[in-house]
Structure 1
Amino acid sequence: MQRTLITSSAFGLLLALGAGQALAAAPDWSKVASKKVVLLYPGVSPIEWITTGTKHGGARALKKGDTCLDCHENETADMGKKIVSGQKNEPAPIKGKAGSIPVDVQAANDGTNLYLRFTWKQPAGGGEKMDKDNPVKLAIMLEDNKVERAAQSGCWETCHGDARTMPGAKDDKKTKYVIGGDLKSGKFYDLIQWKSNGKATDGYIADKRVMEGGKGLVDAKGEKKGDTWTVTITRKLAGGGEGDIAMAAGKTYNLGFAIHDDSTLGRFHHVSLGYALGIDTKADITAAKY
């Protein structure tokens, strides 16, 4: 009997069709504007460090309403290089690890779905292979302007010094969370993660991280050609599940994303600063209708 292999993308299509929603044609990415976003290696730089003036000189600017992007957009590569070397905020530097990853980010929508595309070259690696099943993972966080400072600090509001992979953490099960996080009040981050083993999860981060419950994810696929990775995420604008924010034309949302490169886990990732994502409206990254 002949067998048919179903890829993760095809499986996503079957799920969408089973739910009564067919996948629309993806945008012609050659016609979609691209924004270069440099992800940095953050080391041990939780929100508690970010907001403490005696440790972080930008804490005062943050209190005045400035964003991390305002101060650091053009120096993220230098910051990552310094941290990954162990000069600052990294007690356990990984030899050979890249300090930053430049990523081309594209966004578009068709009135029903949001499309996000991330492209980057594989950086140098080094150190222990913490996740042998996944050389690469990419996660995005979306927020609906309800978490305090989210528009300033991006997903840093979910990063805390007591999380399980932080130095001195006492609870090896504690992951990301939002202080005062609550689904009912909308104080949470919508979380989607793609893994290079072909699996994807749709969850959220409120008082704790939950890797399920969302129904907004339509498709997540990625591939490596030569030394270049490309990951594309398709998400229903309306969301519809637990921990899904509802997105609409003319509005902006907070976007942050992270790449776990070189089979890493936990805090040993590269992260973006916080960006505004506009749906049919001008923002740091604009998802225009095609």
Structure 2
Amino acid sequence: MNKKLIVSSIATMLACGAGTALAAAPDWGKVPSKKITVFYPGVSPIEWIVKGTEHGGAKGLKKGESCASCHDEEAADMGKKMATGQKLEPNVIKGKAGSIPVTVQAANDGTNLYMRFTWKEPAASGGGADKENQVKLAFMLEDNKVERANLSGCWETCHQDARTMPGVTDDKKTKYVTGGSVASGKFYDLLQWKSKANKGTDGYVADKRVMEGGKGLVEAKGEKKGDTWTVTFTRKLAGGGEGDIAMASGKLYNFGFAIHDDQAVGRFHHVSLGYTLGIDAKADITAGK
């Protein structure tokens, strides 16, 4: 065989292989979107939600009703009440936005999951404590192993004894899952992007929050044009690291996200309710090819 033809054939195969590993992001203009309102949650840990004396939704959870099925359309109203101190917030930050409408898109190419979040930045309150990062965005995935995760979303990681909660002095107590462990599968896969470094971290929430160990994250990047932020994530469907969920076509996963706007830290973020993310499957958010 001609040597030039051999070299050309090898080059073509290598290029195809590289194209598979480093597939380009989708044409976002052609990807369906869902508007999700993240809201300021105040002091509303899972214990407050399920105890039933102050929150009527505890009965709904016992019946198998999700938080989103009741509150999806009133997230902005709830956030306003808590941000202004009308409900569940003893430490009001004057000027704190009650909610942020976010456009969420998802797609996959058989190898990678792509997530895109777009929103307009609210007016600053100046009350944030993270002086390094103007904005952080994180999302969690759960593989139907954590009790109630399909109903309450990420609230199963939010507890009244975590740092920044009223009366808590332990500044190292972070999010956790009751009875959680990576070995048992009872954990949330956690990906986070920070604005200062403009890159992401790949961790998980089990018996504690760990911001490393995952190998699924390929890239996380964000940019601000005018008053609009856009943050995109590329994650290997297969995962492959500690705390990584292995995702597959045709399956549904529990999904939720949070934005730490205005240099926010700890619980002073904006959060979504719990939704489903489907890989080539009908869900609240479908990541189609």
Do these two structures clear the TM 0.5 threshold for a shared fold by scoring above it? yes
More moved, 106-115 vs 20-29: 20-29
Higher helix share: 2
1:70 is matched by which residue type in structure 2?
Answer: S
Counterpart-to-counterpart distance in 1, 2:20 and 2:83: 44
Alignment correspondent of 2:238: 238
Helix, strand or coil at the partner of 2:59 = helix
* Residue type of the alignment partner of 2:222: G
* Aligned mates of 1:132, 1:22 — CA distance in 2: 36
Query: Runs ≥4 in structure 1, deviation > 2 angstroms?
Result: 19-22
Which residue does the alignment assign to 2:125? 126
- Superposed counterparts of 1:21-60, under 5 Å: 22-60=21-59
AA paired with 1:281? A
Any idea what SS the aligned residue of 2:29 has? helix
Q: Name the CA distance, whole Å, in 1 between partners of 2:193 and 2:166.
A: 27
- Unaligned ranges ≥5, structure 1: 1-18
Residue in structure 2 matched with residue 96 of structure 1 by the alignment = 95
Q: Which amino acid aligns with 2:273?
A: L
Residue matched to 2:193: 194
Q: Secondary structure at the match of 1:38?
A: strand
Amino acid at match of 1:246: A
RMSD: 1.2
Q: Contact 2:79/2:98 (CA < 8 Å) preserved in 1? A: yes
Aligned to 1:280: 280
AA paired with 2:82?
Answer: I
**Secondary structure of the structure 1 residue equivalent to 2:176:** coil
Partner residue of 2:11? none
3-state DSSP of counterpart to 2:288: strand
Same amino acid, percent of matched pairs: 77
1:87 and 1:171 mapped to 2: Cα distance? 27
1:237-256 pair list within 5 angstroms: 237-256=237-256
Gap regions ≥5 residues in structure 2: 1-17
Secondary structure of 1:74's counterpart equals: helix
**Structure number with larger C-alpha Rg:** 2
TM-fit CA distance, 1:21 = 7.4
Q: Which moved more, 1:124-133 or 1:186-195?
A: 124-133
Shift of 1:200: 1.5
Structure-2 separation of matches of 1:97 and 1:223: 22
Q: TM-score, normalised by structure 1?
A: 0.92
Aligned length: 271
Contact 2:199 2:219 in 1 (8 A): no
- Partner deviation per Cα, 1:109-130 (whole Å, 9 max, x = no partner): 0000000000000012214331
Q: In structure 1, what is the Cα distance between the partners aligned to 2:185 and 2:166?
A: 31
Q: Secondary structure at the match of 1:133?
A: coil
Task: Tell me how far apart the structure 2 counterparts of residues 230 and 156 of structure 1 sit (CA, whole Å).
Answer: 25
Give the partner amino acid of 2:260.
Answer: H
Q: Distance in 1 between matches of 2:20 and 2:166?
A: 45
CA distance in 2, matches of 1:203, 1:129: 24
**C-alpha contact 1:162 1:170 (8 A) present in aligned 2:** no
Give me the whole-angstrom Cα distance separating, in 1, the residues matched to 2:124 and 2:267: 16
Q: Distance in 2 between matches of 1:108 and 1:232?
A: 11
Post-superposition Cα deviations, 1:166-201, rounded to whole Å, max 9, x if no partner, equal 001132210000000011110000001000011311
